[in-house]
Amino acid sequence: MQCTKCKKEAVINLRYNGLNLCNACFVEYFEKRARATIRNFNMLNIGDKIAVGLSGGKDSSSLLYFLKNFSEKRRTKILAMTIDVGINDEYGSSTLNNTKEVCQKLGIEHHIYSFKDEIGMTIDEIHLKICNNKFGGSEGLCTYCGVLRRDIMNKKAKELGCSKLAIAHNLEDEDQAFLMNIVRGDIERIIWGSSLIKDAKMIPRIKPFIKSPEDEVKFYAKINFPELNFEHICPYRKDAYRKTFKDILNLLNEKYPGSNFQIFESNNKLKNLLLKDYKIKGVHFCKTCGNLCSGEICKRCELLKNLNLI
Ligand SMILES: [Zn+2]
Ligand SMILES: [Zn+2]
């Protein structure tokens, strides 16, 4: 297999457009798309200070690598932020270790905050607690982890004077969330979660990899961090509902390459239409913390109340 661009030995084939690429041409192709995504969605301005959420997985390590090179050529500053949620096993220690190695290798300022210090409980402790009460098994745990992590990152990024928070969502993450909202009939959430709604208390979140397929992000991670292990899987990752959507998307892509990009475009078109025509109902401010939310109290406060932490 020959590289379509330079005729060297190709190492990857992109089924949706027929390109065969060597390492160097793949990196160029991958980064060009991420740069275009930043430009097309107006994600960054000169002088921005970016906090990059770094979990130690393939996606966030790749994002930090890309944004470091990107910001060196522009007048933006960058730092990495890790939330140690407190998973006491091989996965927990290896991902945390990855974050340290990545930052050391790239020479990036690194801030680590823990669930234990910030909210008083590790995710292991939250797991024990929600398994023993009405909230059931570990299915809801990803919500606790995601919502509380996001809240701490927002607060800390603000304290550090950052103007943007970069999140390593890839194309499939975005498609999956979109399809889930469609199936639930939750049309508000299609625009709700997007950065299109301005909230003064939230630092704008940017996602430079939303047009990058997961397997390409993985390939990019392997090229740039060959020494790191990204294979560990979170022990709590048992969300069958989410997994079903992931499987459906994979099946679609296998049969009809490029479906992931088409779903993304539909999502975008719908977002823009909804913003024009749809009056967002029920924008409130949380009674407890003042965050923008859709009900009486925000999700963060609801979860912390469940845990008797506020
Ligand atoms: Zn090439
Ligand atoms: Zn709240």
Distance CA 136, CA 130 (A): 6
Q: What is the pLDDT of residue 135?
A: 47
Contacts of 288 (CB under 8 A, 6+ apart): 297, 298, 301, 310
Ligand nearest to the CA of 151: 2
- Residue 64 tokens read as 């930090």
Closest ligand to the CA of 9: 1
**Residues 190-227: b if buried by 16+ CB within 10 A, e if exposed:** bbbebbeeeeeebbebbbbbbbbbbebbbbbbebbbee
Torsion angles phi and psi, residue 180, rounded to 5: -65, -40
Distance 83 CA to ligand 2 centre (A): 20
| Centre of ligand 2 from the C-alpha of residue 50, in Å | 25
In whole angstroms, what is the distance from residue 236 CA to residue 277 CA?
Answer: 40
pTM, rounded to two decimals:
0.93
Write out the two tokens for 166.
């970069």
Q: Which ligand is nearest to the CA of 291?
A: 2
Amino acid at 22: C
Report how far ligand 2's centroid is from the alpha carbon of 147 (Å): 11
SS3 call for 165: strand
Give SS3 for 161: coil
Instruction: Please report which residue ranges of 163-258 form alpha helices under DSSP H.
Output: 171-184, 187-192, 214-224, 240-255
With left for phi above 0 and alpha for psi between -120 and 50, is residue 207 left, alpha or beta? beta
Q: Please check whether residue 20 is in contact with residue 12, taking contact to mean a CB–CB distance below 8 angstroms.
A: yes
Helix, strand or coil for residue 194? coil
Every domain of the chain and the residues it spans: 32-278, 280-310
Q: Which residue, 145, 90, 89, is CA-closest to 307? A: 145
CA of 106 to the centre of ligand 2 (A): 36
The pLDDT value recorded for residue 220 is 98
Residue 299: per-residue pLDDT: 86
Nearest listed ligand to the Cα of residue 290: 2
- DSSP annotation of 91 reads H
Which of 274, 266, 261 has its CA nearest to residue 193? 274
CATH of domain 32-278: 3.40.50.620
pLDDT under 70 in the chain at which residues?
132-139, 192-200, 239, 278-283
